[in-house]
Amino acid sequence: MAAEKPVAVRRAEELVEREMAGRDASHDAAHALRVRDLALSLAAEEGLSAPARLLTVELAALLHDVGDYKNNVEDMSVVEMFLEEVGLEEGQKDEIVSIIKGMGFKNEVSKKSIVDPTLEFAIVQDADRLDAIGAIGIARCFTYGGSKNSALYDPRILPRDNLSKEKYMSKEEKQTSINHFHEKLFKLKDMMKTEAGKRRAEKRHKFMEDFVAEFYEEWSGRA
């Protein structure tokens, strides 16, 4: 018989379903739930078993996109208020907020990532990045691009190199969904921090490489 979920987890699931309702499928509640499941699976492979530490991982994974900037709501107040309401100790609440604030790709682009991350941070970040690559990553990439009316591909628009945080987040430049593979998704495999994350990323990365190669072949009429 499965152990009963902590009250904080059940309430976090409810918050995620409520706050993320109506978002496109690249950053919806299902994404948060997948990241949570991946994070707990990675935690098991990494030997993390202390209940308090697993709760930190699970809550950070569930809540990591509630205030995400892509949805024009970069605001941690909902998450911070929730963590206060469920009665977490101050140190645990601060750790969850710190994980969420520091785990984004935009932070590593700007060299502001955590230099010596905790295992909890590494697990949650790796889980989020695993959901951005592989088959689901491909589906999410084109779903998000479609929600922003981006072109699938335009050979006249080249992928950007040496992106700053501001450039990466900019909505001014026209971009394509295929360029996102070169600007971000192909880089994630080598940015994994846990051994478990690195192992899983290998397969997902290869799947994306094969997909993009086939995409170019079909686009050009060669396949």
Domains in the chain: ranges and CATH: 7-219 (1.10.3210.50)
Measured distance CA(19)–CA(140) in Å, rounded: 19
List alpha helices for the chain, DSSP H: 7-19, 29-45, 51-63, 77-85, 90-102, 105-109, 119-130, 134-147, 165-169, 177-183, 195-219
CA distances from 48 to 43, 61, 65, 67, 155 (A): 5, 15, 23, 27, 46
The tens-digit pLDDT sequence of the chain (223 residues) is: 566 889 999 999 999 999 999 999 999 999 999 999 999 999 999 999 999 999 999 999 999 999 875 645 457 899 999 999 999 988 999 999 999 999 988 777 656 555 578 999 999 999 999 999 999 999 999 999 999 999 999 999 999 887 666 665 666 678 899 999 999 999 999 999 999 999 999 999 999 999 999 999 999 999 8
pTM value?
Answer: 0.91
